[in-house]
């Protein structure tokens, strides 16, 4: 009998998270894509209310904070929140932030009925035991004309990458392994499933972007570092065009309230 699924966090892994994710080409590429996609929002002159869920070290939300928008930073890991506070203070934007240590499921109790112009939820749902149940929580925090910036780990792309690398048994076993790797998401989400969930909760996708459409399929991974600027330029050129967008290891979808 398999163990019951449970939510995961990066508690105790702050240093490893910073090194393995954002100090690498894949992390820098992720930030570059998000900055391009959300620039029309953080460049707005009118101050916005921003909620960053599972915010980790809060690197991306600084794009909003530096431009005078107010950010509510939340994460389940207390050490991650503390590290984010230190980073924001060092960068001179701490006054733009409020901080809460809480899981996504606890946020309705913590934040009450507050609503936000922009809700950021990046690389969070794939760590939850029941990711679809997060969507009504995210929706309740969205202002009527607000935006949900949702990034999730793409199950279809994970299958593709593992086939490219010859991991046939792993794919045949439906991506199940006996020993889990803590830094690897265990609940990749199929885009078709996400579309069905969003329709169920009357949320509409306004824009889809693939993140790491080419990066994860490079035959020589060292090329990502050696030719990083060219890689970013080509990712940006093709990552909102099919079939390339669908191959992104992550999907970044911009979502608003449906009719």
Do the annotations mark residue 55 as ligand-binding?
yes
Quote the pTM value: 0.91
Q: What pLDDT does 258 receive?
A: 87
Q: What pLDDT does 186 receive?
A: 76
Task: List Cβ<8 Å contacts ≥24 apart for 57-62.
Answer: 57/14, 57/17, 57/18, 57/22, 57/83, 57/84, 57/87, 58/84, 58/87, 58/88, 58/97, 59/22, 59/31, 59/87, 60/31, 60/34, 60/35, 60/120, 60/122, 61/120, 62/88, 62/91, 62/93
Collapsing DSSP states into helix, strand and coil, what is residue 151? strand
Do the annotations mark residue 54 as ligand-binding?
yes
Do the annotations mark residue 169 as ligand-binding?
no
The closest alpha carbon to 21, from 154, 184, 151, 179, belongs to: 184
Looking at domain 14-257, its CATH architecture is 3-Layer(aba) Sandwich (3.40)
Do the annotations mark residue 30 as ligand-binding?
yes
Q: Which strand (E) or helix (H) includes residue 122?
A: strand 116-122
**Among all chains, which residue has been given the structure tokens 């590290």?**
83
Q: What pLDDT does 189 receive?
A: 97
Q: What pLDDT does 2 receive?
A: 46
Structure tokens at 99: 């901080």
- Rounded to whole angstroms, the Cα distance separating 167 from 155 reads 15
Strand partners, 189: 154
Per-residue tens of pLDDT for the chain, all 259 residues: 444 566 665 555 555 555 556 678 999 999 999 999 999 999 999 999 999 999 999 999 999 999 999 999 999 999 999 999 999 999 999 999 999 999 999 999 999 999 999 999 999 999 999 999 999 999 999 999 999 999 999 999 999 999 999 999 999 999 887 656 556 787 899 999 999 999 999 999 999 999 999 999 999 989 999 999 999 999 999 999 999 999 999 999 999 998 7
Strand partners, 209: 252
Extents of the domains making up the chain: 14-257
How do strand 116-122 and strand 142-153 relate by DSSP bridges?
A: parallel
Do the annotations mark residue 100 as ligand-binding?
no
């Amino acid at each position: 009998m398999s163990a019951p699924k449970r939510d995961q966090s990066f508690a105790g892994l702050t240093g490893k998270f910073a090194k393995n994710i954002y100090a690498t080409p894949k992390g820098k590429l992720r930030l570059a894509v998000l900055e391009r996609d959300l620039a029309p929002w953080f460049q707005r002159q009118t101050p916005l209310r921003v909620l960053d869920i599972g915010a980790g070290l809060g690197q991306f939300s600084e794009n909003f904070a530096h431009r005078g928008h107010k950010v509510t930073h939340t994460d389940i890991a207390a050490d991650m929140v503390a590290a984010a506070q230190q980073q924001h203070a060092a960068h001179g934007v701490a006054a733009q932030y409020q901080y809460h240590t809480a899981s996504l499921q606890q946020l309705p109790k913590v934040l009450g009925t507050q609503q936000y112009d922009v809700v950021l939820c990046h690389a969070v749902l794939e760590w939850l035991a029941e990711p679809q149940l997060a969507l009504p929580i995210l929706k309740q925090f969205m202002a009527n004309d607000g935006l949900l910036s949702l990034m999730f780990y793409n199950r279809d792309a994970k299958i593709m990458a593992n086939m490219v690398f010859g991991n046939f048994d792993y794919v045949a076993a439906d991506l199940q392994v006996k020993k889990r790797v803590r830094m690897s998401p265990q609940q990749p989400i199929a885009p078709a499933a996400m579309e069905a969930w969003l329709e169920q909760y009357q949320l509409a996708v306004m824009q889809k972007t693939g993140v790491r459409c080419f990066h994860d399929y490079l035959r020589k991974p060292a090329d990502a570092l050696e030719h990083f600027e060219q890689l970013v330029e080509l990712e940006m050129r093709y990552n909102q065009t099919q079939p390339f967008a669908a191959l992104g290891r992550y999907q970044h979808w911009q979502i608003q309230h449906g009719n």
